Structure formats: C-alpha cells, structure tokens
Amino acid sequence: MSDPESIGVVQDAKIEFARKLSKWMSSRGFGNVDVVRGLALHGVKAHPSLISGYRRGRYLPSPARIEALSKVLGVSASELMPPINAVLEAPRGFELAPLSDGRVRLRVHQTVSIDQARAVALILGEDADRALSIGIQRAHLSRQEPD
C-alpha cells in the first residue's frame, strides 16, 4: 500500500521542478533538443523525451542531472531544485522517497536477472520464490491476448 503523504510530496516536487525547468528553458529560448545537446557537452546522455517528461512533471531527475541541467541553463542548481526532502533518485534507477515514519520507499526501475530479484526479495525478508512466482504469473497473464 502506498503512503499518500509521500506520494503527494513526490508529485508536488515533480510539478515544481517541471515549472522551474520550463521557466528557465523558455527564458533562454531552449527546446528539449537544445537541452539534450547541452547535456551532452557536459558528458550526460539524455533523450528529448526525457526532458519532455521532466517538463510535464512525469519524472524527477537525480541531483547529478539537476546539476548538469543547471550548467546548461546557466543557473544555480538551487534555482532548479524541487523542495529537498521530496525525492532522491540514485543514478542507476533507484528512487528513494522519505516517509513520515523515518523509513523510505524504494523503487527499482531497472531490469535484473531472476537471481538478482531473488536476492533483493531475501534482503527485504520476503519469500523470494513465492514473490517471484507471483510476479512471473502476473507478467504471463498480462501478455495473454483476450479471447
């Protein structure tokens, strides 16, 4: 079950970041492709659809990407940063959202092997084999065509 408070905080951060990014891009006359080219000059790979996702409030970049975006736009990172405390996204597809009780919600957005998934489930104290079999069954059912 999702914690509504953390979801709201994360969504607010995405919207605020989207507003700030769009404002600075517009003031510089930059489109998504311009920003992607600028990021490439700073050694950061991105696609115009990612920038579009940032501008629509769909994604929140990692602190490292915020830093690179600030360089491209010629502003300080603090001028782009959403409210701190909202979301910390690690570079390899991990998203951490602080919860009000001191824990964090972890989301992994990355393809892993079955063995890696099992190891994560074990670390989290889940019945790894049961969790994996349920996940595989769901994936199989979602791919079946309706009658």
Domain at 55, CATH number: 1.10.260.40
Strands in 104-108's sheet, in edge-to-edge order, are 88-90, 94-98, 104-108
Please give the residue range of the domain that contains residue 49. Answer: 4-82
Judgement on whether residues 116 and 78 belong to the same structural domain of the protein: no
Cα(40)–Cα(113) distance, rounded to whole angstroms?
30
Note whether residue 89 is domain-resident. Answer: no
Residue 91 and residue 62 in contact, taking contact as beta carbons nearer than 8 Å: yes
Note whether residue 102 is domain-resident. Answer: no
What tens digit of pLDDT does each residue of 82-140 get?
665 544 444 456 666 666 676 767 777 777 787 777 777 777 776 656 666 666 555 55
What is the DSSP code string of 27-88?
HHT--HHHHHHHHHHTT----HHHHHHHHTTS----HHHHHHHHHHHTS-HHHHPPPTTS-E
Residue 36 pLDDT grade (very low, low, confident, very high; cuts 50, 70, 90): very high
**pLDDT value of position 28:** 96
What tens digit of pLDDT does each residue of 40-97 get?
999 999 999 999 999 998 888 887 888 899 999 999 888 887 665 544 444 456 666 6
Judgement on whether residues 77 and 11 belong to the same structural domain of the protein: yes
Note whether residue 38 is domain-resident. Answer: yes
Q: Report the number of distinct structural domains present in the chain.
A: 2
Q: How many C-beta atoms lie closer than 10 Å to residue 146's C-beta?
A: 3
Judgement on whether residues 61 and 117 belong to the same structural domain of the protein: no
Note whether residue 30 is domain-resident. Answer: yes
What pTM value is reported for the model? 0.55
Cα(35)–Cα(46) distance, rounded to whole angstroms?
9
User: In the listed set 40, 63, 82, which residue is the last one of a domain according to the structure?
Assistant: 82
- Residue 98 pairs with which residues in a beta bridge? 104
